[in-house]
Amino acid sequence: MTPAPEPALDLLIFGGAGDLSLRKLLPALYMAHLHERLSAATRIVGIGRQAWSRTEYLQFVAGQCPPFIEPSAFSGPAWATFLDRLDYVAMDVGQPEAYEKLKLALRVQAQRVLYLATAPSLFTKICANLSDAGLIGAEDRVVLEKPLGTDLASARLINAEVARHFQERQIYRIDHYLGKETVQNLMVLRFGNAVFEPLWRAPYIKSIQITVAETVGVGSRAGFYDGAGALRDMVQNHLLQLLCIVAMEPPISLDADDVRDEKLKVLRSLRKMDADSVKQDTVRGQYSAGASDGQAVVGYLQEANVPPDSRTETFVALRVHIDNARWANVPFLLRTGKRMQSRRSEIIIEFAEQPFSIFGKTHSQQPNRLIIRLQPEESIHLGLMAKEPGSGMLLQPVELGLDLQGSSDKRRAEAYERLLMDVIKGRLTHFMRRDELEAAWTWIDPILQAWQTQGDKPRHYPAGSWGPSTSSALVARDKLQWFEDA
Ligand code: BG6
């Protein structure tokens, strides 16, 4: 028997000439092509405003994209066959008539993936125009890039509008952190190892820290970033998603809804912040001039296109509680910032101290810590106490370390490649469901509102530091320290 022909797929990228396409989406699709993960019948259609021909678009892509591809993976012949898959449609996505032209460029029988990598303000218009033009089939999929809204009301509006044209099973809300190898590995660490589960709860855990620190500043993105700030840009999505995976109950299976049901419960158990707790438990910072990677850098207010009186936060630290049986009284300490001392994303599980030490008070005993580093390197370390060599019974801290990158020769795909392949294969587990997104905004909204009402400015911190000193004070209340201070 001859095998069934592979289904034809048209992958449309709205915003096909934009930054995200050039830096992430097209390089990820090239890698999938290079490793023969795309069927022969997959075509990629870039959609943009620029009145280019296909040849001009290919020239543009060929000029812009390769620097974002790992040099060792760049192969001339593979790149040429990748470009053969690409097409371009020049159109104004706000104009309903333009979709007739788009229709002509698509294959009637092909399944469609509609990737909306445009400004979110265009999402609902694009969906409505696609629908009016009869371009949405029952099996087609839409991918929505963050930010999905700027608060609960706007997120609800986008969700409701998109739901008029797509069923929930067709909607892929991207959070690229969920595509990272190490983030996916967190589930395996927690649920594939019997040793952790009995201890993964109060009172055996004293605190959990989640840090996502970047050394970059706002760069050329002030137009977007100044209206968003770190809470919306990083906490509402990436940090809360990490928190969910660390804190959720074991799902009954890896099916998308089973996993998403558990994450939703975590979001719904987050202790709501009121005006007082926002004062007590949140810290906002904004970087001032300093040094980053040894180079002098300007402060946020001096960056291009940032208003000189901007109060946008580039750093946030939060002290959060999850009100359920597993996590009663365990502080979760979250922080993220730009222009921090080093680029580092990590989760630190600090275990409770021993109730009684046979070694006596004179021997300093550090708590055991599990350090899960997500980037730049991918590793897991467990801090233990061991005997210091020599006579007597002196204790010293030691570490068990696992380098996850070095532990396998297999290629580790980038987050976007992994997530794009999930969309193509129809796997929703690593995408946010509508109720999850809205639950995250429900928790974030009161913080945004209280910051606005309180009207105080974010604290300045020098570029190249670990944020304002109030961030250390925030955790000191629980007699804790941020990990790099410990
Ligand atoms: C994006 C934010 O979602 O994540 C950026 O909009 C941030 O501001 C980026 O720099 C960080 O992603 P990563 O994968 O480099 O940690």
- CATH number, residue 454: 3.30.360.10
Residues 243 and 339 in one domain: yes
- List, for residues 229-283, the tens digit of each pLDDT value: 999 999 999 999 999 999 999 999 999 999 999 999 999 999 999 999 999 999 9
Query: Which among 145, 162, 188 is the end of a domain?
Result: 145
Q: Which of 146, 184, 234 to mutate to test the pocket of ligand 1 (most atoms within 8 A of CB)?
A: 234
Residues 186 and 318 in one domain: yes
58: enclosing H helix or E strand: helix 54-64
Q: Are residues 140 and 184 in the same domain?
A: no
- The answer to whether residues 331 and 319 touch, using CB atoms and an 8 Å cutoff, is yes
- CA distance linking residue 276 with residue 156, whole number of Å: 27
313 inside domain: yes
Query: Are the C-beta atoms of residues 466 and 284 closer than 8 Å to each other?
Result: no
**For a pocket test of ligand 1, which of 68, 144, 175, 176 has the largest count of ligand atoms closer than 8 A to its C-beta?**
176
- Answer yes or no: do 480 and 429 share one domain: yes
Based on the fold, state whether residues 129 and 219 are members of the same structural domain.
Answer: no
Domain that holds residue 84: 9-145
Closest C-alpha to ligand 1, atom 13 = 177
Q: Which residues are catalytic?
A: 238
Output the residue whose Cα is nearest ligand 1's atom 9.
234
Spacing, Cα 127 to ligand 1 middle (Å)? 26
Which atom, in ligand 1's list, is nearest to the CA of 415?
14
Residue 1 lies in a domain: no
Question: What is the Å distance from ligand 1's center to 83 Cα?
Answer: 27
Residue nearest to atom 8 of ligand 1 (CA): 233
What pLDDT is attached to residue 358? 86
* 170 within domain boundaries: no
CA of 336 to the centre of ligand 1 (A): 11
Does the beta carbon of 214 lie inside 6 Å of ligand 1? yes
Ligand 1 centroid distance, CA of 347 (Å): 17
Residues 129 and 198 in one domain: no
**Residue 123 to residues 147, 154, 155, 159, 402: CA-CA distances in angstroms?**
11, 12, 11, 10, 43
Which residue, of 145, 167, 197, is where some domain finishes?
145
> pLDDT (tens digit, 9 = 90+) per residue, 405-441?
888 889 999 999 999 999 999 999 999 999 999 999 9
- Atom number in ligand 1 closest to CA 180: 14
Q: Whose CA is nearest to atom 10 of ligand 1?
A: 214
Answer whether 233 contacts ligand 1 (Cβ < 6 A): yes
Q: Are residues 273 and 134 in the same domain?
A: no
Any idea which of 39-53, 211-225, 308-322, 346-360 has the lowest mean pLDDT?
A: 346-360
Q: With beta carbons less than 8 A apart as the criterion, state whether 46 and 58 touch.
A: no
Centroid of ligand 1 to alpha carbon of 211 (angstroms): 13
Q: What is the CATH number of the domain that holds 106?
A: 3.40.50.720
What secondary structure, in 3-state letters, does 440-461 show?
HHHHHHHHHHHHHHHCCCCEEE
Locate the DSSP E strands across 152-198: 171-173
Q: What is the chain's length?
A: 486
pLDDT of residue 333: 98
Q: Is the pLDDT reported for residue 224 higher than 80?
A: yes
Q: Which of 477, 180, 438 is nearest to 317 (CA)?
A: 477
On whether both 138 and 185 belong to a single domain, the answer is: no
pLDDT digits (tens, 9 = 90+) for 281-304: 999 999 999 999 889 999 999 999
Q: Token pair for residue 111?
A: 């399944």
Residue 173 lies in a domain: no
Instruction: Identify whether residues 73 and 201 lie together within a single domain.
Output: no
Number of domains in the chain: 2
The rounded Å distance from CA 5 to ligand 1 centre is 39
Distances (CA, A) of 39 to 6, 36, 198, 395, 425: 7, 7, 44, 58, 11
Residues 125 and 195 in one domain: no
Nearest CA to ligand 1 atom 6: 233
Same domain assignment for residues 86 and 234: no
Tokens (6 digits) for 51: 């009145």
147-163 residue pLDDT tens: 899 999 999 999 999 99
Interval 6-64: pLDDT, tens: 789 999 999 999 999 999 999 999 999 999 999 999 999 999 999 999 999 999 999 99
Structure-token pair, residue 108: 């009637």
Mean pLDDT score of the chain: 94
Higher model confidence: residue 202 or residue 146? Answer: 202
What is the rounded average pLDDT of the residues 200-216? 97
Which is the closest atom of ligand 1 to the Cα of 214?
10
Predicted confidence band of residue 354 (pLDDT cuts 50, 70, 90): confident
Cα 15 → chain centroid? 20
Whole-number pLDDT of residue 486: 60
Query: CB of 145 closer than 6 A to ligand 1?
Result: no
Whole-angstrom Cα distance, residue 320 to residue 334?
8
**Protein residue closest via CA to atom 15 of ligand 1:** 214
Q: Give pLDDT, residue 1.
A: 64
Question: Do 254 and 340 meet the contact criterion of CB atoms below 8 Å apart?
Answer: no
**Which atom from ligand 1 is nearest to the alpha carbon of 338?**
10
Predicted confidence at residue 456, as pLDDT, reads: 84
Looking at 145, 162, 189, which one is the last position of a domain?
Answer: 145
Q: What's the CA-to-centroid distance between 378 and ligand 1, angstroms?
A: 17
What is the position in ligand 1's atom list of the atom closest to the CA of 238? 3
Q: Which atom of ligand 1 is nearest to the CA of 345?
A: 16
Query: Does the Cβ of 346 fall within 6 Å of ligand 1?
Result: no
Report yes or no: 418 and 431 within 8 Å, Cβ to Cβ: no
pTM of the entire structure? 0.95
What pLDDT does 7 receive?
82
What is the per-residue pLDDT for 41?
95
Q: Is residue 171 part of a domain?
A: no
Same domain, 233 and 85: no
4 pLDDT band, cuts 50/70/90, is low
